[in-house]
Structure 1
């Protein structure tokens, strides 16, 4: 994909909270009229260290942060508040108990998802993950992830249900586009499919969900033939949009936050939405 990089290389060790704090440190330095070299002298470190701190390429050390804030002229109350936010950012994410069964790209992107305002998804052959029932999700893993133990599949289903719950709690909007082929592809038994259809009908009534279903025999569109693609938008100026293109191998995905890649997929998805039937027509397809 254009501009694609693995999250492990691009975002390793960084969370939304760390990125925000790192950017604030840079803003405070510039407001104090100090160069990176001068900040490095105050820290007793190399200029590259300050650059890495400001770009969140390294963990934020409390002692270094305190020294930088003091050099920038921050008051005691401001320093204490900043360090308090840093301590909170260093706590394990809510998803920590499920780390052993998460796909590699999810480990680093979950903090972005946890702050997302809207998530847009294209799913070519299955029901989008964020709209799946537990039974459907478990059945998908049973088919696509034979490498996992039954216990691990159960844990992955638990994680997905927790993700769905938290996204609802934080009022994240889900805008999903799927193919009607998913409704004609048996995943699990008939009871699983009946329950999943009902869950989609229920989701349509939620204000946070928009669902468009491309009909069988419908027009070719820009996302035709593409794998699952997700776009994440966060209402935090320091955090860029992210695009995730899932791969064929177990748990693989290309992730990018480059403006070129994100804009390209935004455009493709916008055009696909225009071609797809109106969300109100999804009710008819699901009956």
Structure 2
């Protein structure tokens, strides 16, 4: 299992990869680059693996050593300044779980997000009222104001994904469609939202009906799969469960491939998206 470091954003990882490419293109070893910095080679290794903060002065020195053109240097330093600015989610950080803080930069760069929940509507498809009702039951450790803020954040996450044209692919269970979360009005609004989402071009929604046979994800806790499609940035899988507010996060690990296969197999046996729309009616 691997976790992203807080503050280690996808933008930082992209810049770190670019610095590695420039160093290798210049024919320099890490030891030679470290001498230009007046530092140990381990410092260059940590910079290239985004295991330390990317400092403007250090990056400028490395780019000079690598023979980067002035225009390229300005571009990279501009990207570094943008990467060092707080993420859009910063105002909600006080109500976010630690694993969410670590993964928001990945979600904000994702091209595909796939999700599964064994009993509830997957998080990214929840209406604010439904999300608030879920937290009322599952997160008694939070105050009512905190639950409201989390519902607000969820709506903002969904809007950001829409703006960046991220493809969402969700598996919904028949149990989620029948389980009463909140009052009748909350459920009616949630089902209407699912029907509307199923019509969106960026959304693929499939249903596993209650009377269907067991499938590859039967008994598996809630999952979210992220694909960024940026060189050097691996796929990520989040598996929720256990204590409230906790999750396991994997990247560049056999577990990622295993869960992706399980998602593929489960999607293959779920209702076709067109038939799933009928199940939501």
Which band: TM-score by shorter chain? Answer: over 0.9
Indicate whether 1:141 and 2:135 are aligned: yes
Alpha-carbon distance in 2 for matches of 1:163, 1:204 = 18
Corresponding position of 2:205: 211
Indicate whether 1:183 and 2:183 are aligned: no
53-62 or 217-226: which moved more? 217-226
75-84 or 185-194: which moved more? 75-84
Alpha-carbon distance in 2 for matches of 1:82, 1:173 = 29
Corresponding position of 1:30: 24
Corresponding position of 2:258: 264
Corresponding position of 1:234: 228
- Residues 237 and 250, structure 2, Cα contact 8 Å, conserved in 1: yes
Q: Shift of residue 283 of structure 1?
A: 1.9
Alpha-carbon distance in 1 for matches of 2:58, 2:268 = 50
Corresponding position of 2:268: 274
Q: Shift of residue 108 of structure 1?
A: 1.2
Note the residue ranges of structure 1 that are not aligned, 5 or more in a row: none
Match of 2:248 among 254, 267, 272: 254
182-191 or 250-259: which moved more? 250-259
- Residues 13 and 58, structure 1, Cα contact 8 Å, conserved in 2: no
Alpha-carbon distance in 1 for matches of 2:184, 2:213 = 29
Alpha-carbon distance in 1 for matches of 2:173, 2:5 = 32
Residue deviations 1:1-51 (CA, integer Å, cap 9, x gap): xxx23x2xx433310110000010010000000000000011100010000
Alpha-carbon distance in 2 for matches of 1:77, 1:131 = 43
**Coordinate RMSD, CA, aligned:** 1.0
Alpha-carbon distance in 2 for matches of 1:78, 1:211 = 42
Corresponding position of 2:194: 200
- Residues 222 and 240, structure 2, Cα contact 8 Å, conserved in 1: yes
Alpha-carbon distance in 2 for matches of 1:271, 1:78 = 45
Match of 1:68 among 62, 73, 76: 62
Q: Shift of residue 76 of structure 1?
A: 2.2
**1:116 aligned counterpart, secondary structure:** coil
Corresponding position of 2:94: 100
Note the residue ranges of structure 2 that are not aligned, 5 or more in a row: none
Corresponding position of 1:167: 161
Matches within 5 A, 1:7-86: 7=3, 10-86=4-80
Q: Shift of residue 277 of structure 1?
A: 1.1
Alpha-carbon distance in 2 for matches of 1:98, 1:157 = 10
Matches within 5 A, 1:151-162: 151-162=145-156
Q: Shift of residue 169 of structure 1?
A: 0.6
Matches within 5 A, 1:104-143: 104-143=98-137
- Residues 6 and 101, structure 2, Cα contact 8 Å, conserved in 1: no
Alpha-carbon distance in 2 for matches of 1:88, 1:140 = 35
Q: Figure out how many residues of one structure are paired with residues of the other and give that number.
A: 281
Indicate whether 1:285 and 2:279 are aligned: yes
